[in-house]
Amino acid sequence: MTRATTETPLTKRIKRHVIGRKRQFFAATAPGLEKICREELNVLLPSGTPMTIVEGGVKFKGRLHDCYLADLNLRTANRLLMRIESFHAANFRELEKKLIAVPWELYVLRGSPTHIRVTSRHSRLYHKDAVAGRVQESIAFRFAQNEFPGEVTPEPTVTQQIFVRLSDNRVTLSIDSSGDLLHKRGIKPRAAKAPIRETLAAAALILSGYTGTEPLVDPMCGSGTFAIEAALIAQKIPPGRFRDFAFMEWPSFQPKRWQHMKQATEKKIVRTNTPFIFASDRDERAVRELKDSVTQYGLSGIVAVSTRDFFDFSPTELTNSPGLVTLNPPFGRRLGSRRESEALFLSVCERLKKEYKGWKFVLISLNPRLAEMVPFRSITHLLPHGGLKVALMTGRIPDKN
């Protein structure tokens, strides 16, 4: 798209109200991952940045470029919202009056498609579709009634999502800076038999204490989510490196600052030509597609992919040092009866006891009851995933049985 090269009244307002001020942001996470997300933000953002954990995410105050930084680097967040306005409205007349005054031109481009998402709790305005319609109308009215010299010429490719939260007759408007959910890294080739979101895989690695320096074996890799997330951590590659974001089509977007930020992260990337992340599966198609993906995204120097059956090989064939083994087997609701699931789970645990002595482990099950059957000490984290509760188990396998 074409952007204005000289300052205009609109660009001055954008600088003053959006770029130049600290804004309120919300990093949304799966329930249970809020503390991990806060720790990520503590590392990313300037010391002393105000932030608060709330259910389902972390609120923080920062500059617009902090939003860029968070979208690019957060491994466990689902999306990042920037607050636009907050006001009281107990009826549609009051809502319409307040919405007309919102300076939408500071946040969306003329002609950009928008999608309005509404939640309502303890508010008189409970009809979500009607509220969404009023917001959509206010955006259209704002642009129809005003000309803004210096507007950029849009060639929109992204639908901007506006989030409307009503609580106790308080209306909070926010805009989604991420676009696609942040678990979409732009890498994974296809859905596997036992899919796991990248954000959950990253959280599991962090909870296990994975540092990116020790060997990692992913022996039922499927599409390779664990292996790829581990490679990104080990090589200090931002999880958003291979994708675009909705903020790139905001009126306030600063392309030069964004490019400078990406270049700074590129300099921190650590390359290696000696693989110490080993992904394998007995599904030849999955292995073939993962190999292609690993090569395409420059990860073949750290990830070795092979066709193997978990029950037929030992990690000593891959590495002499113990490290972390990650497993997301297809048991639980994806495999036959409860008895079959339990039998497979016990077989996996027995194999771990025999071949992975001294290794740390991550084990995932869609059936939380199976966590009680782990024959060695573990910590179980119950996390939501695809509408289900997932048991995420971490621990260390004893050196001796």
Domain coordinates of the chain in residue numbers? 9-176, 198-235+270-396
In the prediction, which pLDDT does 215 show? 98
Cα dihedral 146, 147, 153, 158 in deg (nearest 10):
-10
The least confident of 267-271, 333-337, 397-401 is: 333-337
Beta bridge partners of 119: 165
- The per-residue pLDDT of the chain, averaged, comes to 92
Do 393 and 201 contact (CB within 8 A), yes or no? no
Please state which CATH number belongs to domain 9-176: 3.30.2130.30
Asked if domains 9-176 and 198-235+270-396 share a fold, the reply is no
Tokens of 226: 């664990």
pLDDT digits (tens, 9 = 90+) for 260-309: 999 999 999 999 999 999 999 999 999 999 999 999 999 999 999 999 99
In the prediction, which pLDDT does 73 show? 98
Residue 45 to residue 245: CA distance in whole angstroms: 19
In the prediction, which pLDDT does 217 show? 99
How confident is residue 375, by pLDDT bands cut at 50, 70 and 90?
A: very high
CATH 3.40.50.300 fits 198-235+270-396, yes or no: no
Assign 3-state DSSP to the chain and report helix, strand, coil percentages, each to 5.
35, 25, 40
Higher per-residue pLDDT: 7 or 227? 227
In the prediction, which pLDDT does 386 show? 74
**Helices within 26-185 (DSSP H only):** 34-44, 64-73, 92-100, 128-145
In the prediction, which pLDDT does 369 show? 86
Do 293 and 187 contact (CB within 8 A), yes or no? yes
pLDDT digits (tens, 9 = 90+) for 165-203: 999 999 999 999 999 999 999 886 665 555 789 999 999
